[in-house]
């Protein structure tokens, strides 16, 4: 069916529109039709993306420009960034994980004028961000949140094998893991090429045994050490005795699915396993038909190794791209996003999966309302080290991470390569990056 | 009655004179329009432009990148063959090169053998022949990413339906590490590639089979040749040129394959299933070392050039014989 548009109807309609604009007496802040395009990962908490999408029209109204979000697989973020920078076109704001701003420093806008006031007014950013988002004293990304990890485990299974609490040391965990594997519910650990779970396990595990990729200066490769060899040797045994050996091919999503399906008894992960289990409590049940989330406990850190107990959490931040024609608008949007009223809603939807980027959010009343296992994450962000530790988190550290050298060193070991050879391989790869 | 033309039979009154040719030289525009050379240039221009923009420019750009230290956001400087030397000394590159060769060799052999078998079967007359021929093309028609995702689910380390079937059937007691072991992973990729590429072989060889005159088979049968002998002495020699062309295409596509490995294994575990294309992508696009990534991908060029050259020479010799 077609509707004829008569001249008078047209004049009446457009006349009313113009009258409305004139009556408002405010010119839009940006040229009409201006769009702001933001690319982020697909969140493990789907409601977090829903909340951002819900906020988009509010932001559009406040800024006088059309704000649109695009969510892509986290593993596709880096290829997307490379393509955007090289072609000089793409999203105005792109989410940066880890210390990626170091790698893309030449293509990012200095956003210190946005980040500094946020940090100052909110009790300061966590230390992790001065390593990840600050390059040469300038903020090249506005810190947005931290995806902290914990070991999610099944309380009932641990009780059945006589483990009243989460093991304190790696040796104890190996014994617990053996019993779990014997019950057909092994420890699940991703050790494939994926952005989050494999590195958040491999790096702290290396540090726990006294290994490190470089020295404090970040210039000398130190991986070929007793600590690193011991770490690989321990993982070879731990993998065989306690783990689901399919983990070599896992990405960040596999352990969530395996845990929810009751295939594994414990895994290192963010709060998403618990949150999704609770939000889908009618679907995700344990062997007795009870909601699975009621059986999930969180150990705040992985067990302790001979050299200590370390953590590596995933920092999230937003960068404004230099090629963007809407840099001011992008900065205004980031200021808007971090206003308490807006940020707070997104933060609460996360229920601890993504904690705040500033210490202020530790005091949010949300922490009193959420379940006890989720409260583990309240102050977790302060404990995290960064890629390249004990050296600075430079672009070289990002390159080593992006090539999965530390992850692959362990993966080679559990696939049967001699520990010493796996470490030597990592040494030669790291030397090409740091000393080449 | 039609009028005779001048010089023909008929009375003088009936004669019609032909228009006299113009004595003046043709105008510039006419010369321009009638110039064959110009016409050729004009007709070729769109093709040359398309080839230049979409083939030559990216190729030249790739060569330049491979000779520079360009990284994401940083314009590079000329570094000569440094990236090629670095790649050659890189253990992951060597693994990727080996994997690419193994993957291409076996996948092509399987596709050829199974495709030929399928083509010979489909060349017979049976009920529902058209339906079978059409459905056979499905693996080739479905987008690679989509079908590979389905295979990934079937090989999933935790929820593999194949493991489930093998376990239920009493064939295994522990899971087969389809994707969590490098060797298994590569063979899984070869299997998926064969599944996907076999229809291309089958349909092309089938077209070749249909050009072979049934009289030749009939004559061979009368001479007492059995099925195998008929295939070996009649079908195969006549099918050789088509087969060589299909094999060349397949080698080019398989050697530079990216999507299948990227989706199925991502090059893992521990880089053990990387092909040259996926490794070049990881270094060039994911890590942002564009110069090094370009050098890795350019290693494919001499290999493919050699394969094509050898096979085309052989093809020419066959045609000449």
| pLDDT tens digits, B140-179 | 889 999 999 999 999 999 999 999 999 999 999 889 999 9
Strand partners, A134: A139
Mean per-residue pLDDT over chain A, rounded = 92
DSSP tag of B235: I
Instruction: State whether residue A245 sits within 8 Å of chain B by CB.
Output: yes
Between chains, do B290 and A86 touch, taking CB under 8 Å as contact? yes
- Nearest 5°: the CA angle A378, A316, B262 is 125
pLDDT in the model for residue B85: 95
Q: Which residues contact A88 (CB under 8 A, 6 or more apart)?
A: A323
pLDDT at B10 over 80: no
Closest CB to B287 among A191, A192, A399: A399
Query: What is the arithmetic mean of pLDDT over A257-283?
Result: 95
Lowest mean pLDDT across A4-8, A272-276, A376-380, B146-150: A4-8
Q: Which of A134, A315, A396, A245 is nearest to B184 (CA)?
A: A245
Nearest-Cα distance to chain A for B283, in Å, is 7
pLDDT in the model for residue B255: 95
| Band (A52; pLDDT cuts 50, 70, 90) | very high
Closest CB to B158 among A103, A263, A402: A263
What percent of chain B has pLDDT above 90? 62
Instruction: State whether residue A399 sits within 8 Å of chain B by CB.
Output: yes
Instruction: Name which of A90, A248, A403, A418 to mutate to probe chain B: the one with the most chain B Cβ atoms within 10 A of its Cβ.
Output: A248
Q: Which residue of chain B comes nearest to A410, CA vs CA? A: B270
pLDDT in the model for residue A420: 98
| pLDDT tens digits, A212-248 | 999 999 999 999 999 999 999 999 999 999 999 999 9
What percent of chain A has pLDDT above 70? 93
- The answer, as to whether pTM is greater than 0.90, is no
| pLDDT tens digits, B65-77 | 999 999 999 988 9
Nearest-Cα distance to chain A for B272, in Å, is 9
| Band (B26; pLDDT cuts 50, 70, 90) | low
pLDDT at A140 over 90: yes
Nearest-Cα distance to chain A for B149, in Å, is 14
Which segments within A140-200 are labelled E, that is strand? 142-147, 150-154, 187-188
Residues in A touching B74 (Cβ below 8 Å): 106
Q: Which residues contact B17 (CB under 8 A, 6 or more apart)?
A: B6
The DSSP string of A372-432 is: HHHHTTTTGGGG-B-TTTTS---HHHHHHHHTTHHHHHHHHHHTT--HHHHHHHHHHHHHH
Sort strands A142-147 and A354-356 into parallel, antiparallel or unpaired. antiparallel
**What residue ranges define each of the domains in chain B, with the CATH number in brackets?**
5-22+90-320 (1.10.3720.10)
| pLDDT tens digits, B279-321 | 999 999 999 999 999 999 999 999 999 988 888 888 788 777 6
ipTM computed for the complex:
0.85
pLDDT at A71 over 80: yes
User: CA B68, CA B77: separation in Å to the nearest integer?
Assistant: 5
């Amino acid at each position: 069916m077609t509707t004829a548009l008569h001249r008078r109807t047209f004049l009446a309609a457009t006349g009313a529109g113009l009258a409305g604009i004139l009556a408002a007496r405010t010119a839009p802040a940006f040229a009409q039709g201006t769009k702001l395009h933001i690319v982020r990962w697909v969140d493990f908490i789907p409601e977090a993306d829903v909340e951002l999408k819900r906020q988009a029209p509010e932001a559009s109204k406040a800024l006088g420009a059309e704000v649109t979000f695009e969510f892509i697989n986290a593993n596709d973020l880096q290829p997307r960034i490379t393509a955007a920078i090289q072609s000089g076109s793409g999203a105005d704001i792109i989410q940066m994980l880890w210390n990626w701003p170091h790698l893309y420093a030449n293509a990012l806008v200095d956003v210190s004028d946005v980040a500094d006031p946020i940090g100052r007014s909110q009790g300061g950013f966590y230390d992790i961000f001065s390593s990840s988002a600050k390059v040469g004293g300038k903020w090249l990304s506005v810190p947005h949140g931290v995806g902290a990890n914990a070991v999610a485990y099944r309380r009932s299974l641990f009780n059945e094998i006589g483990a009243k609490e989460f093991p304190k040391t790696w040796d104890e965990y190996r014994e617990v893991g053996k019993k779990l594997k014997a019950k057909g519910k092994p420890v699940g650990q991703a050790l494939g090429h994926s952005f989050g779970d494999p590195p958040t396990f491999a790096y702290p595990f290396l540090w726990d045994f006294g290994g490190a990729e470089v020295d404090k200066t970040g210039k000398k490769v130190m991986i070929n050490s007793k600590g690193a060899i011991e770490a690989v040797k321990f993982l070879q045994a731990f993998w065989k005795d306690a783990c689901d050996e399919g983990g070599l091919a896992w990405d960040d999503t596999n352990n969530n699915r395996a845990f929810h399906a009751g295939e594994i008894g414990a895994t290192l992960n963010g709060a998403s396993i618990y949150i999704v289990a609770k939000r889908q409590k009618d679907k995700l049940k344990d062997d007795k038909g009870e909601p699975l989330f009621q059986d999930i406990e969180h150990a705040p850190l992985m067990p302790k190794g001979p050299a200590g107990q370390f953590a590596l959490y995933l920092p999230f931040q937003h960068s404004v791209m230099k090629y963007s024609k809407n840099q001011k608008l992008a900065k205004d949007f980031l200021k808007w996003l971090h206003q308490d009223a807006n940020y707070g809603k997104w933060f609460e939807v996360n229920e601890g999966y993504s904690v705040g980027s500033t210490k202020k959010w530790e005091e949010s009343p949300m922490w009193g309302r959420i379940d006890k296992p989720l409260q583990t994450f309240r102050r977790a962000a302060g404990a995290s080290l960064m890629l390249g530790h004990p050296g600075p988190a430079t672009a070289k550290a990002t390159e080593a991470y992006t090539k999965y050298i530390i992850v692959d060193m362990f993966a080679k070991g559990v696939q049967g390569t001699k520990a010493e050879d796996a470490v030597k391989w990592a040494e030669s790869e790291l030397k090409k990056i740091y000393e080449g | 009655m039609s009028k005779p033309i001048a010089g023909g039979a008929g009375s003088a009154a009936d004669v019609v004179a032909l228009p006299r040719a113009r004595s003046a030289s043709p105008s510039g525009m006419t010369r321009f329009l009638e110039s064959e050379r110009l016409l050729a240039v004009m007709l070729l221009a769109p093709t040359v432009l398309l080839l230049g923009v979409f083939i030559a420019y990216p190729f030249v750009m790739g060569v330049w990148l491979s000779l520079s230290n360009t990284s994401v956001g940083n314009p590079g400087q000329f570094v000569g063959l440094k990236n090629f030397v670095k790649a050659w000394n890189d253990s992951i590159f060597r693994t990727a090169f080996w994997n690419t060769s193994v993957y291409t060799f076996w996948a092509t052999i399987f596709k050829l053998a199974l495709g030929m078998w399928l083509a010979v079967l489909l060349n017979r007359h049976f009920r529902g022949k058209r339906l079978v021929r059409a459905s056979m093309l499905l693996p080739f028609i479905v987008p690679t990413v989509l079908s590979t995702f389905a295979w990934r689910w079937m090989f999933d380390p935790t929820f593999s339906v194949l493991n489930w079937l093998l376990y239920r059937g009493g064939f295994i007691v522990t899971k087969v590490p389809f994707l969590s072991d490098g060797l298994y992973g590569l063979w899984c990729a070869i299997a998926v590639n064969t599944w996907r590429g076999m229809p291309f072989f089958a349909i092309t060889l089938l077209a070749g089979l249909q050009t072979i005159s049934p009289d030749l088979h009939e004559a061979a049968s009368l001479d007492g040749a059995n099925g195998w002998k008929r295939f070996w002495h009649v079908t195969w020699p006549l099918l050789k040129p088509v087969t060589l062309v299909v094999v060349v295409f397949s080698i080019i596509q398989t050697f530079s394959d990216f999507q299948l490995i990227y989706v199925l294994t991502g090059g893992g575990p521990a880089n053990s299933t990387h092909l040259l294309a996926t490794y070049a992508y990881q270094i060039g696009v994911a890590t942002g070392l564009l110069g090094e990534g370009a050098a890795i991908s350019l290693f494919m060029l001499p290999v493919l050039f050699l394969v094509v050259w050898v096979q085309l020479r052989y093809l020419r010799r066959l045609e000449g014989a």
